Amino acid sequence: MAIGPPVLGLLALLLTLVTCERQLTPSERKIVSDAFLKTFQMSQVPQIRKPRSEVDIPDFMIEQYREQTGLDVDTTNFRKPGAFTGHSNTLTTFPGKLLKHPGTMVKKGTIVEDQTVLQFDFQFDPKDNDMQAAILKVYWKPFLSIKRKSGSFRAKVSDLLKLGHDRDSQIFSPLDSKKIHHRDSELDEGWYEFDVTGAVERWLEQSPQRTRLLIEKSRMKVKGYSKDVGVLAQGSFQNPHLMVFSESSAHKARRERRSPRNKPKRAKHRRRLRRSYPCERQSMFVDFADVGWNDWIVAPAGYNAYMCVGECRFPLPDHANATNHAVVQTLVNSVTPNAVPQACCVPTDTSPISMLYLNEYSKVVLKNYQDMVVEGCGCR
């Protein structure tokens, strides 16, 4: 699929600037910036509330970005094993705040909590993004102790509708649970994920002010203790993050246009990479620092978009990756060049890129953008 006119215009401008190897003028920077904003489906450059150096980029988001850059060509969907992320092409994270709970107990100088309440500053626009799935990612930190009891417990996550002074006065809706072992720090400690899609769906439909989640620890079944009493696992849940997978409206519209029932027949070998002269693919590196966007784009610093350069003259060689129409047009052009123009050397196959950036709320977002890298060129 050829890249759309806005991007083609941007690439042509960038080609000129790269060839000249000079700094962008203010007007040129404005043109490039506007073209990129349209490509990235943004109305304006995010106004970051604080410097990027002061924003904590979660390690798991960086790891997720690394995974996304290895996606197959032609897909911008997130692949999250065990999660129904659907056609998501955007991942937004919301750091959680640990709230003090009245039920906190102190046992022999050690704080022991059977409940953990999380509050999220949830700001999400459902008009342009269709939420597909939501995951709570939280770190379990066990307390080191010589008298550590061995066993296992279940961590249960619920949508907290009403916060009370004890469990009986709370109103909550169970969501997900995970079994956590309590043997030693190497086996216990680490990240755990819980499906909280139901809670986020409620937040979007109802009041976004009650955006709280509750984590409860069941008592461990330990040898030598009554089943009714049990032992409370010593440790705490830390560094909570809410991961929301969504599909942008533009991505959904493009996906529906590309569905098999709407897709026209194409040349059988459209995906074959063509780099032969005269119509060929050449390198063209896009540096986000050139337009002053390195303050909110975390990764990549730039990328090689490539471009298609060359002429489509008659007779077209077999490796020109030309359509039948391009062959006929080139033939007519060779006979009457003033009546019919030459076929154009254009992208015939493209691939997406993944971009990790900060939005206007200084939230970390990972998004995939379609048709950003030229993979093949041909005469059309």
Q: pLDDT of 29-79, one tens digit each?
A: 677 777 777 777 777 777 777 666 667 777 777 777 777 775 443 455 565
Q: Looking at per-residue confidence, does 306 or 54 come out higher?
A: 306
Residue 15 domain flag: no
Residue 8 domain flag: no
- Specify the length of the chain in residues: 380
pLDDT band at 356 (very low <50, low <70, confident <90, very high): confident
**Do the Cβ atoms of 363 and 332 come closer than 8 Å?**
no
Task: Give the integer Cα–Cα distance in Å for 133 and 77.
Answer: 12
| Average pLDDT in the chain | 73
Domain of residue 296, CATH code? 2.10.90.10
126 and 233 belong to one structural domain: yes
CB neighbourhood size of 277 (10 A): 11
pLDDT at 9 over 60: no
| Two tokens, residue 284 | 């063209």
Q: Which of these three, 204, 231, 249, is where a domain ends? A: 249
Q: Looking at per-residue confidence, does 361 or 71 come out higher?
A: 361
Look at residue 218 in the predicted model and tell me its pLDDT: 78
230 and 149 belong to one structural domain: yes
- What is the number of domains present in the chain? 2
**Do the Cβ atoms of 352 and 369 come closer than 8 Å?**
yes
DSSP state of 199: H
244 and 287 belong to one structural domain: no
pLDDT band at 184 (very low <50, low <70, confident <90, very high): low
- Mean pLDDT lowest for which of 205-209, 274-278, 324-328, 333-337? 274-278
Q: What is the mean pLDDT of residues 306-311?
A: 84
Residue 162 domain flag: yes
> What is the span of the domain harbouring residue 295?
25-84+275-379
Residue 241 domain flag: yes
Beta-strand runs (E) in the chain: 90-99, 105-107, 110-112, 115-120, 129-142, 151-162, 171-182, 190-195, 212-217, 235-248, 280-282, 285-287, 297-299, 302-304, 307-309, 345-358, 364-379
289 and 216 belong to one structural domain: no
Tokens 């930190």, located at residue: 141
Distances (CA, A) of 165 to 5, 40, 269: 60, 46, 67
pLDDT at 352 over 60: yes
Q: What is the mean pLDDT of residues 144-161?
A: 75
80 and 99 belong to one structural domain: no
pLDDT at 1 over 50: no
Q: Does 300 sit behind a cis peptide bond, omega within 30 degrees of 0 on the bond before it?
A: yes
Helix spans in 129-280 (H): 185-188, 197-205, 249-257
Residue 332 domain flag: yes
95 and 236 belong to one structural domain: yes
Look at residue 303 in the predicted model and tell me its pLDDT: 82
Residue 283 C-beta-side C-alpha neighbours within 13 Å: 5
Q: Does 174 sit behind a cis peptide bond, omega within 30 degrees of 0 on the bond before it?
A: no
Q: Looking at per-residue confidence, does 47 or 183 come out higher?
A: 47
Domain of residue 104, CATH code? 2.60.120
Task: Give the integer Cα–Cα distance in Å for 159 and 83.
Answer: 18
Look at residue 272 in the predicted model and tell me its pLDDT: 41
40 and 169 belong to one structural domain: no
pTM: 0.56
Look at residue 349 in the predicted model and tell me its pLDDT: 86
Residue 145 domain flag: yes
Closest of 157, 212, 220, 158 to residue 188, by C-alpha: 220
128 and 143 belong to one structural domain: yes
Q: What is the mean pLDDT of residues 259-286?
A: 56
Q: Looking at per-residue confidence, does 318 or 200 come out higher?
A: 200
Q: What is the mean pLDDT of residues 191-201?
A: 89
pLDDT band at 241 (very low <50, low <70, confident <90, very high): very high
Q: What is the mean pLDDT of residues 198-204?
A: 88
300 and 345 belong to one structural domain: yes
Residue 316 corresponds to which amino acid? L
Residue 71 domain flag: yes
Q: Which of these three, 192, 214, 249, is where a domain ends? A: 249
User: What pLDDT digit, counting tens, does each position of 113-127 carry?
Assistant: 578 889 898 888 888
Share of the chain above pLDDT 70, in %: 67
Task: Give the integer Cα–Cα distance in Å for 367 and 166.
Answer: 41
Share of the chain above pLDDT 90, in %: 3
58 and 202 belong to one structural domain: no
Look at residue 153 in the predicted model and tell me its pLDDT: 81
Task: Give the integer Cα–Cα distance in Å for 105 and 35.
Answer: 57
Residue 218 domain flag: yes
80 and 202 belong to one structural domain: no
Closest of 222, 288, 327, 210 to residue 39, by C-alpha: 288
pLDDT band at 220 (very low <50, low <70, confident <90, very high): low
224 and 302 belong to one structural domain: no
Q: Which of these three, 182, 215, 249, is where a domain ends? A: 249
